[in-house]
A and B are shown apart, each in its own frame.
Chain A
Amino acid sequence: MSEHVGWAGRPRRLRRLDAGLSLLDRQILDRDGRLSGKVDDLELTPPEGDGSGPPVVTAILSGPGALARRLRGSVGAWLESVHSRLHPSAEPGPARIPFGVVKEIAATVGLSVRKDDLELSRFEDWTRDHIIGRIPGARHAPE
Chain B
Amino acid sequence: METARLGVDAVARDRTTGPYVSVLLGQAEEQATSVQSTFDSVQPPNEDADRLRDEVDGLLTQAVSVLGDVRIAARRGDTDGITGRGPALADISKRLSDLEDRLG
A–B direct touch in complex (beta carbons closer than 8 A): no
